[in-house]
Amino acid sequence: MNIPDGWQIDIGLEIHAQLNTQSKIFSGASTLFGSDPNIQASAVDLALPGVLPVVNEAVYAKAIRFGLGVSAEIARISAFDRKNYFYPDLPKGYQITQMDLPIVTGGHIDIFLEDGTVKRIRITRAHLEEDAGKSLHEDFDSFTGIDLNRAGTPLLEIVSEPDIKSAYEAVAYARKIHQLVTYLDICDGNMSQGSLRFDANISVRREDSATLGIRAEIKNLNSFRFLERAIVYETDRQISLLEANKSVPQETRLYDPGKDETRPMRSKETATDYRYFPEPDLLPVVVTDEKINAIKAEMPELPAERCQRFIDEFKLTVADSNLLASDRNLADYFEIAAENSKNALLSANWVKSELLGHLNRDSLSIKDSPVSAIQLGELVSLIGADTISGKIAKDVFSALWAGEATSATTYIEQHGLQQLTDQSALEPLILEILNANPKQRQQLLSGKHKLMGFFVGQVMKQTQGKANPQQVNTIIKRLLQESP
């Protein structure tokens, strides 16, 4: 994206990450996605009279893990507040959140810019809060349906400083957060289910202006692409307004992916004064040093550390290591395959070429791969042991992918695809082929080395690819030496 000359863009992101706890933040109801409407709404989620919230302790550990992951301060005392506004999918008429004393303050994330340089994006704070339910405006004939299954799902809201200067940086930052929360196992990162959602605060200003422009907040962006498109549209819109000597109103807007534009939210959906005050139903949260140290001791390996380990332990190239460590699920997959194959380098090659190729072709995520890491590991081990050739292995992989086989070993046995490594069986066949092609044999002997390929190809053809080309090569050379 090109930023018009003379303009500067300032973006701060608020990222809502749904924490992957079994039950909700203030009730025992399940957080499972995709159930029938309202079956996961308990008395607390419905805000019946007289019910009280009780904090699910699991959310603290997850929030603290995030804080440690971005080198932030962990508050020894944090507290919940009520954020008041009326909306049908907010049953209590207030959201329980952390306003004054968030559990995480400060911290940063480093992103790579297009030119490869590193840029640090500061994090202002990350606080715990509850998700709202869903309002379903279709299918109810002028009524709105309310589904409270999501109400009370724990959220970590991660707020950045306005350090982000372009759509590219915003996406890079958002992807880093996605990578981090999935690595930390605090969020499943499933964008299509709304597990990670972005609000972008966007403003523009003349390059020589020292103060930030008036911002618009684009709410509820649920994909990296929409985040990018919304920023591109919105900055263009704001620059056009200012260039026409009009002002940018401070407002909340929505991005419409169908029209690829942002437009103001209906004013009813936004409140001007949330009347925050301390939540009297919950005590302040006290976090001890012991607790923080215990969480530190159990911190999972972060992407950068894992990348370095792949280089040190498996001797992968920096590029391969970066690619494989970029996504926790991909890295896990690779490690399982490497362990099962006892051949990390070959496993890495197969994961990044064959596996990623197939996943891209079928638009699948690594988690949905029809070939498991154990299956791929087995296949790679058979290549490493010269049981099959690389070419046959690709056919076996396709069979596994298509569900025609469950184990490479069994499939190879059933279809007789083992490599012909028995020299006594190969020699007569090779001799026969040499004798059947005297002209080519003579040329090879006289130094035309590329005819070696011709003979190897003939042998491979005769054996339906089951011979080991390396071995065939050696046998041919020896036979020619023995009887020129």
Count CB neighbours of 200 within 10 A. 29
Backbone angles phi, psi at 162, to 5 degrees: -75, 55
Alpha helices in 35-122, H assignment, sequence order: 58-69
When asked if residue 265 is in the footprint of other proteins (CB under 8 A), the reply is no
What is the C-alpha separation between 150 and 141, in angstroms, rounded? 23
Which residue, 168 or 276, has its beta carbon nearer to other proteins? 276
Q: Which stretch binds other proteins (CB under 8 A): 257-265, 278-286, 407-415, 436-444?
A: 278-286
What is the closest distance, in whole angstroms, from the C-beta atom of residue 223 to other proteins in the complex? Answer: 29
Enumerate the β-bridge partners of residue 15.
158, 198
Q: Which amino acid does the sequence have at 78?
A: S
If the CB atoms of residues 272 and 435 are measured against other proteins, the closer one turns out to be 272
Q: Residue 85 Cβ, how far from other proteins at the closest point, in Å? A: 9
CA angle 415, 416, 418 (to 5 degrees): 125
* By the rule CB under 8 A, 51 interacts with other proteins: yes
Q: How far is the CB of 142 from other proteins (least distance, A)?
A: 10
Applying CB under 8 A, among 73, 100, 185, 281 the residue interacting with other proteins is 281
Q: Binding to other proteins (CB under 8 A): which residues in 399-418?
A: none
User: Which residue in 319, 374, 293 sits closest to 341, CA to CA?
Assistant: 374
Give the residue, chosen from 1, 32, 39, 48, that forms a contact with other proteins under the rule CB under 8 A.
Answer: 48
Which regions of 182-238 does DSSP assign to beta strands (E)? 196-206, 216-221
**Residue with Cβ nearer other proteins (91 or 213):** 91
Pairing of strands 285-286, 196-206: unpaired
Considering only 138, 273, 298, 482, the residue that binds other proteins (CB under 8 A) is 273
91 forms part of the interface with other proteins (CB under 8 A): yes
Grouping H, G, I as helix, E, B as strand and the rest as coil, residue 313 is helix
Under a CB-based contact definition with an 8 Å cutoff, are residues 79 and 279 in contact? yes
Segment 143 to 162, residues that bind other proteins, using CB under 8 A: 144, 146
Bridge pairing between strands 216-221 and 196-206:
antiparallel
Q: For residues 134 and 352, which CB has a smaller minimum distance to other proteins in the complex? A: 134
Which of 92, 205, 215, 441 lies at the binding interface for other proteins (CB under 8 A)? 92
CA 70 to chain centre: 18
Nearest-10 Cα torsion for 130, 135, 136, 141:
160
Stretch of residues binding other proteins (CB under 8 A), selected from 161-169, 235-243, 265-273, 339-347 = 265-273
Counting contacts by CB under 8 A, is residue 137 touching other proteins? no
93 scored as a contact of other proteins (CB under 8 A): yes
Burial 149-165 (b: 16+ CB within 10 A, else e): bbbbbbbbbbbbebbbb
Question: Whole-angstrom Cα distance, residue 277 to residue 402?
Answer: 57
CA 163: distance to chain centroid? 23
Least distance (Å) between residue 41 CB and other proteins: 9
Nearer to other proteins, 45 or 163 (CB): 45
Q: Hey, is 50 helix, strand or coil?
A: coil
Residue 49 lies near other proteins (rule: CB under 8 A):
yes
Closer by beta carbon to other proteins, 58 or else 299:
58
Candidates 12, 53, 102, 213: give the one binding other proteins (CB under 8 A). 53
Nearer to other proteins, 49 or 416 (CB): 49
Give the containing element (helix H, strand E) for 2: none
Pairing of strands 196-206, 73-74: unpaired
Q: Which of 1, 39, 52, 385 binds other proteins (CB under 8 A)?
A: 52
Q: What SS3 class is residue 120?
A: strand
Binding residue count for other proteins, defined by CB under 8 A = 31
86 binds other proteins (CB under 8 A): yes
**Torsion sign over Cα 37, 39, 44, 46:** positive
Select from 8, 30, 37, 55 the one that contacts other proteins (CB under 8 A).
Answer: 55
Q: 28 or 390, CB closer to other proteins?
A: 28
**Which residue's entry shows tokens 């349906």?**
145
If one asks whether residue 286 binds other proteins (CB under 8 A), the answer comes out as no
Of positions 57, 115, 208, 268, contacts other proteins by CB under 8 A: 268
Closest to other proteins by CB, 286 vs 385, is 286
Answer yes or no whether residue 60 interacts with other proteins by CB under 8 A. no
Cα dihedral value 135, 137, 143, 145, nearest 10: -40
User: Where do contacts with other proteins occur on this chain (CB under 8 A)?
Assistant: 43, 46-55, 82, 84, 86, 88, 91-94, 144, 146, 268, 272-273, 275-277, 280-283
